[in-house]
Amino acid sequence: MKPQRSKHTFLDRNSKPMRNAGEKRRRNPLSKYGIGIILIVICGIFTLWTKGLFLQPLNIVNVLRQISINAILATGMTFVIISAGIDLSVGSVAALAGVFTAHLLHLSGLPVVAVIGIALTGGMLLGALCGAVNGFTITRFNVPPFISTLALMTAASGMAFIICGGRPVWNLPAEFNVLGRGYVLEGLLGPWLPIPVLIMLAIMAGAHVILTRTTVGRYIYAVGGNEEAARLSGINVAFIKMFVYAFSGITAACGGILLASRLASGQPNAGVSYELYAIAATVVGGTSLSGGEGSIPGTLIGALIIGVLSNGMNLAGVESYLQKVILGVILLGAVMLDQARKKST
């Protein structure tokens, strides 16, 4: 007699797989709030170390502006890692999108606003296309995410240099440069509320809603937690993977466009090592490299920790090479903590 398929799917919030996925995200309150406590402790240490200089309002604004691009890239990375994948191409995609957008900004015969709109749309679509290529090779040909994204990282970096002929793209419209350099309420309260920070918060808020309030978000956790169980429950795993990599490509493009705006030029080598910092922010923020666990607020805190450490050590006069050692130790410690937490559950 042919066995009956279970009626429970991940669409059913009362099903056992769905309950397990939810319990996994809610367990261990210390790990949920501990990362925030660590951030507060680090801020306190640097406040004392720099004799209050760290907590100056202008410095806090500067920290937020500095982390904005990394946090945007880390938002897409969070989706990918929750689905039990990895994306090494985000830095190169950011550089490619920045150069491509800068190149489109030199279109002639159109109003500036129209040119900026076309350039921004083109850059974002290119990022989505790069992410979709990753998703396609991973789902259609079963290429490991590490290899697929590593290949695209190399290819995207080469394409960035081809588009601009190995030279930065200069003379960008001043209206475009405001995206990366401008501030809201600048005339009233001084340099306050950088526009990149507002864009970062908007992207992260939207991503948080997707992960916590939509069916797609629940499916991402399900695929990362147990891909085979998700498939047997009726989830289109290939679509979910395509979605997370395309989303990662879009966030990478957004970060690259903001970076081009900040630098007032499209730099083909601008995204070097950005993927490492994005992964670091995601992992330090509590997203498990094994998949199925993580959050956008945690990623934001992870990006803040990395930004605070860099800024605080600069103010304290710590050498740049020592800062890299400290960051590497922190990343390794975060991964070890994640593994220890898994063994204890």
**Quick one: residue 185, left, alpha or beta (phi over 0 = left, psi -120 to 50 = alpha)?**
left
Measured CA to CA, the distance from residue 291 to residue 255 in angstroms comes to: 24
> In CATH, what class is 59-343?
mainly alpha
What is the average pLDDT across 148-160? Answer: 97
Is the pLDDT assigned to residue 24 strictly greater than 60?
no
User: Are 10 and 214 spatial neighbours (Cβ–Cβ below 8 Å)?
Assistant: no
- The one-letter amino acid code at 331 reads L
CA atoms within 13 Å, Cβ hemisphere of 17: 25
Is the pLDDT assigned to residue 5 strictly greater than 80?
no
pTM of the complete model = 0.90
pLDDT value, residue 9 = 41
Is the pLDDT assigned to residue 279 strictly greater than 90?
yes
What is the average pLDDT across 192-209? Answer: 95
Please write the tens of the pLDDT for every residue from 65-77: 999 999 999 999 9
> Could you tell me which of 97, 53, 73, 112 has the C-alpha nearest to residue 267?
97
Is the pLDDT assigned to residue 269 strictly greater than 50?
yes
User: Are 61 and 198 spatial neighbours (Cβ–Cβ below 8 Å)?
Assistant: no
| Lowest-pLDDT choice from 9-13, 208-212, 225-229 | 9-13
pLDDT value, residue 181 = 93
pLDDT value, residue 259 = 97
Higher pLDDT, 21 or 298: 298
Confidence category of residue 339, pLDDT binned at 50, 70, 90 = confident
Alpha-carbon dihedral sign for residues 331, 336, 342, 345: negative
